[in-house]
Amino acid sequence: MSAPLDGVRVVNLAVNLPGPVAAARLAGLGAAVVKVEPPSGDPLGAIAPGWYGELVRGQDVQVIDLKDEVGRRGLDGLLAEADLLLTSSRPLALDRIGLAWPHLTRVFPRLCQVAIVGHAAPDQERPGHDLTYQASAGLLTTPEVPRVLLADLAGAERAVTAGLAALVHRAATGSSSYCEVALADVCDDFAEPVRRGLSTADGLLGGGSPGYGIYAASAGHVAVAALEPHFWRRLLTLLDVDGSRESLESAFTSRTALEWEEWARAHDVPLVAVRAAPPPAC
């Protein structure tokens, strides 16, 4: 069977994380991806070479100096054959090298563009990174730095969605399109459970329900997510507890976290052992 994006050509100018992750997802769906890097390379290649290698596997990586006339002609040749362009530079930077959307759509009318930016209009030129986006959205627990690069990874998925929507729209109407994915907006959207009270300290998913939480075992901790009534009833029956947090705390101290995980698998209960952070990869 052919892949969904067989025949689709993507040019990715985005470095660091969201663009390469998005491009890798598109490549995984069958798109042919050309990754264009500056002479200095993609910083991700120096910071996380193993991950970088995985993300660009199967892609055509080309080093092109976009400030050079010859390099720009080379890029134009790629764009003339492309269906989708991914960028992550600020709009003024793209404009300075002749890659603003009004110019691109005039020269390459079939080309769609997804521009990954930090902030939505009128603040597209405001600098930022994953940490600042999460901080502004109220998603940090100070003073810890978050383990998950939420804005970058969720932004990459949103960029993929925007790219697919652009291709569907072009197939239906014949018109190309431009879409901005603002990473700060992505974080704001992911903060919605907090705003709705679901994951606040007393919310159903934030500690307010004894059936959804973390408990100490005799060794390690377990994460319990018995939200549905049938799972909750089954948990209480099997543990022979009254459902109070105190009764659960007492019950879980009788086994190790890994033993509870095996028990949960055998009894169809949504419970797992809490793992430590994975070790760094090379």
pLDDT over 90 (residue 103) = yes
Q: What is the pLDDT of residue 1?
A: 76
pLDDT digits (tens, 9 = 90+) for 18-62: 999 999 999 999 999 999 999 999 999 999 999 999 999 999 999
Mean pLDDT of 192-203: 94
pTM confidence score: 0.91
Q: Residue 282: what pLDDT?
A: 54
Among residues of the chain, what percentage have pLDDT more than 70? Answer: 100
- Position 137 scores a pLDDT of 96
The stretch 220-240 carries a mean pLDDT of 98
C-alpha dihedral over 170, 176, 157, 141, to 10 degrees? -140
Region 129-136 average pLDDT: 97
Q: What is the mean pLDDT of residues 255-275?
A: 98
Domains and CATH numbers, the chain: 9-192 (3.40.50.10540), 204-273 (3.30.1540.10)
Tell me what the mean pLDDT of segment 137-141 comes to.
94
- Average predicted confidence (pLDDT) for the chain: 96
